[in-house]
Amino acid sequence: MRILVIEDDASAAAFLVKGLREAGHAVDHSLDGATGLNMAEAGGYDAFVIDRMLPELDGLSLLQKRRDAGDETPALFLSALGEVDDRVAGLQAGGDDYLVKPYAFSELLARVEALGRRRAPSNVTTKFTVGDLEMDILSRTVRRAGKKIDLQPREFRLLEYLMRHAGNVVTRTMLLENVWEYHFDPQTNVIDVHISRLRSKIDKDFDKPLLRTVRGAGYKLSDED
């Protein structure tokens, strides 16, 4: 992916850029809002990572300008402001995701990659396939190797989210936010247990595991080895 990072904290930005490049992305970087806006206008990016508080032009206005100009590039806000209102303001300005500082890099990477995926027209598809695992949203059925698998409604939503982001790492926080709609992290490993239940239904009787744990990051549904 080509990613534009607009972040005024030079060392945080350097770390971010390095991490994203190591993950195989092409990254451009700007230290202030005005330059960032110019670079964004030049186009060609798959995702923006924008700090909310920037010199010259703040992050919200910057993205608002791009959205007004019809730019639909998915954007993730980074911010030290983490209240519900701040999140809402970020989403209203056209942001697609919102990450509160300080964050773990693995969390940011997973979310940025999920953004790139969001761009694909998967939102309107009603059928997903990962390897021999198939999901039909309309009939609410899941089959693996042609065999029907019964899922609880929540398990179905969990799998649906994983399938929409197949091939990408999905963090526990992302699952909590998107599948359960909670914006806090329980101390108990509730998500892990849900995942292992789901895994026992879709992977247990089959040779090739599809739902994998990515150490220190989260989970990944993938057919690759």
Partner 1 sequence: MAGNRPHEQARDDVSQDVGQSADKWRVANLVPRLFRTTAFRVTIVYMLLFVVAVGLLGAFIYRATIVEQRSKVEQELREEIFLFHAVYEDKGLLGLGRFMDKRVSLSHTVLYYMVVPPYGNKIAGNLTNFPTGDYKKDELFEFTYELVSRNDNDPFGEPAIEVRPAMALVTRFPPRGRQSLGPLVLVGRDVTDIVSIRNAARSAIFHVGLVTLVLGLVVGIASSRAFLQRLDDINRTASAIRSGDLTKRIPLSGGGDEFDNLAVHLNMMLEQIERLMVGMRQVSDNIAHDLRSPLTRIRSRLDDALRADDASQRQALVETAEDVERLLATFNALLAMTRIESGERRKGFEVIDLGDLVEEIAELYEPAAEEAGFELSCHMAPVPPIYASRELISQALSNLLDNAFKYARHENGQNPRPKIEIRLTPKLGGGALLEVLDNGPGVAPQDRQRILNRFVRLDQSRTSTGSGLGLSMVAAVVAAHHASLSIGDGLARPNPEDGEQGYGLGVRIAFPPAEKKAGQLANSGAELARGEAATKPTHG
What residues make contact with partner 1 under the rule CB under 8 A? 82-85, 102, 104, 154, 180, 182-190, 192-194, 196-197
**152 phi/psi in degrees, rounded to 5:** -70, 160
Q: Are 113 and 169 in contact (CB under 8 A)?
A: yes
Give least dist CB 198 to partner 1, A.
10
Of residues 74, 70, 87, the one with CA closest to residue 48 = 74
Give least dist CB 138 to partner 1, A.
24
Say whether 185 sits in a helix, a strand or coil: coil
Give least dist CB 82 to partner 1, A.
8
Q: Which is nearer to partner 1, 165 or 194 (CB)?
A: 194
**How many whole angstroms separate alpha carbon 130 and alpha carbon 210?**
8
Give least dist CB 196 to partner 1, A.
8
Q: Which is nearer to partner 1, 126 or 188 (CB)?
A: 188
Q: Which residues have a Cβ under 8 Å from the Cβ of 180 and sit 6 or more positions away?
A: 154
Q: Which is nearer to partner 1, 43 or 82 (CB)?
A: 82
Q: Which is nearer to partner 1, 106 or 129 (CB)?
A: 106
